[in-house]
Structure 1
Amino acid sequence: MCSKTSNEKEEKLKKEYLQVFYLLVFFTYFFFAIISNYFQHYEYVFSDVNNKKKYEIFSDIRTFYGYIDLENDMYEEGQLADFRIKEVYEDKNNFIGCDFEYNYETNKKEERYYIVIDKNKASMKIFSEKEFKEKYNISDDKFINIYTFLKKKGTKIGRYR
């Protein structure tokens, strides 16, 4: 009779250890999944037709925006050297990024700015919405969310920028 209770105690102890082990594995997995998603970002690198210049689009996971480094003559001292991109359009001749503010009261995108990288001329220019619409005949429906674009065409990187 004594051996039966001893076996029952051993079985109960094994079950408790197994439950603690499963709990430990779950929390470890959960913790590392959150950490790895926080530090993994996307980048998309492309160049002009003649490979004179390379352009890099990189993501910011906390805001779900993309950024591109501006050329040296495109910003003033003290100004940020990045252009924020929320939507993007790309074809064989151009890469176009769009930044805008969203008015939640009217549910409309307000005051858009576009950065156009001409892959044939290796040039980068920023346009207001009016200037862009006059020069390019690209509807807003052709633009996609930058994070969707980076997930499709970009490379996942494990560093924070």
Structure 2
Amino acid sequence: MTTTLSPLELQSRMPVWEALSEFWLDTELADYQLDYIARVIAASPYSVEEVRAIHDYEVAPAVSANLMSVAGEWAGFDSEWLNAKCHRCAARRHLHWYRARIWLQRPLFRFFTEHYWLQVVPRVRSLLGARGQDTRDQSAYAATGTSGSQAAGSEIYSQHEEKTDAGA
């Protein structure tokens, strides 16, 4: 049994997948990159806890091998490739064997990413607090059929790409 994401869920997930994949690049992330990740998470319809689960079940299994490679990716993953891999992982997310595999791998995921989470989560909470959105009302997103990442995600990604291009 696999679960398929709806087009709306897929559209909401893609900016989150792309932002979280930066934890797995073979480079140390700068403050502006951590700010970008926090803005994407804050703009998404997901709580911090849901984003952590998305990371553990969908992003980390797709890209964690990058940090174990001799010459890992450091500039960024191809969006099309990344989204296809994360989508496949999301489809397996509710399978018992897959959940058991993630449970076994979670200590490794935490070892490589916990220092980033400790920096990103306060930034997300600060952004949400500044907007008066400390808690997420998922029913509000479902009722309108939109997500915060649909409008803000492409703008945030563009700002991130401009900074990345300027730094190169």
Is TM (by shorter chain) over 0.5? Answer: no
Where relative contact order (Cα < 8 A, 6+ residues apart) is larger, the structure is 2
TM-score range, shorter chain: under 0.3
Higher helix share: 2
Higher strand share: 1
What is the TM-score with the length of structure 2 in the denominator?
0.23
